[in-house]
């Protein structure tokens, strides 16, 4: 029940355009462009996996570190870049936090958005390794079929509005 409500509210902001049969209506629909504030609102309420606080409260995600490279034409691919700042430079949960953000955005944004999740420069000692994992679609897809991992991610996302 909860899940269906959440999906419904997402759809208010971001109509589901994944169904190719609805392609025609895609052109007609006056969809508001998505801005950084909307992306921030989608991910700021994600719970930190080890603190009783959200990623917004911990300043792991910050409005100023979100960039939307929007194409006006809704049939074109657009890009979202989110830079995250782990609370400590050796944070072992940086990958998990990034995965949570990616899953949240993949579920919320229309398919035309390519989502790039990066650690903010200098915020983590294994920056390149973590970035590589977070942006490998095959590893992300496999992680989302791992029940244990998906359970942790679902818990992180359960505080999203």
Partner 1 sequence: MPIELLKSLRLHKDKLWSLDCSKGLMATASSDRKIKLVNLQNLDFKLVEELDDSTHKKSVRSVSFRPNSSILAAGSFDSTISIWGKDDSDPLDNPETDLLAIIEGHENEVKGVAWSHSGEFLASCSRDKSVWIWEADELGEEYECLSVLQEHSQDVKHVVWHPNMNLLASSSYDDTIRLWKEDADDWECAAVLNGHEGTVWCSDFEKSEASLRLVSCSDDATVRVWKYVEEGEDGEDIWTLDAILPNIHSRAVYSVNWSSHGYIASAGSDGILAVYKEVEQGNWEVVAQQNEAHSVFEVNMVKWTRVGDKDLILTGGDDGFANVWCFTP
Q: Site residues (CB under 8 A) for partner 1?
A: 17-18, 20, 23, 75-77, 110-112, 114, 132, 135-139, 141-142, 145
How many CA atoms lie less than 13 Å away from 83 in the CB half-sphere? Answer: 12
The pair of structure tokens assigned to 81 is 């870049």
Query: DSSP for 42-56?
Result: HHTTPBPSSSSSBTT
By C-beta, is 4 or 18 nearer to partner 1? Answer: 18
Least distance between partner 1 and beta carbon 134 (Å)? 12
Least distance between partner 1 and beta carbon 109 (Å)? 11
- Tell me 32's DSSP state: P
Least distance between partner 1 and beta carbon 104 (Å)? 18
By C-beta, is 23 or 50 nearer to partner 1? Answer: 23
């Amino acid at each position: 029940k909860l899940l269906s409500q959440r999906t419904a509210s997402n759809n208010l902001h971001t109509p589901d355009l994944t169904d190719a049969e609805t392609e025609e209506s895609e052109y007609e629909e006056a969809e508001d462009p998505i801005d950084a504030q909307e992306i921030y609102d989608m991910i700021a309420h994600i719970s930190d996996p080890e603190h009783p606080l959200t990623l917004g409260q911990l300043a792991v995600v910050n409005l100023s570190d979100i960039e939307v490279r929007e194409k006006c034409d809704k049939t074109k691919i657009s890009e979202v870049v989110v830079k995250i700042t782990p609370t400590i430079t050796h944070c072992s949960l940086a990958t998990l936090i990034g995965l949570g953000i990616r899953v949240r955005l993949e579920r919320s944004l229309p398919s035309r958005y390519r989502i790039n999740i990066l650690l903010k420069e200098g915020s983590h000692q294994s920056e390149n390794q973590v970035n590589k994992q977070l942006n490998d679609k095959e590893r992300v897809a496999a992680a989302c079929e791992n029940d244990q991992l998906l359970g942790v991610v679902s818990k992180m996302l359960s505080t999203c509005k």
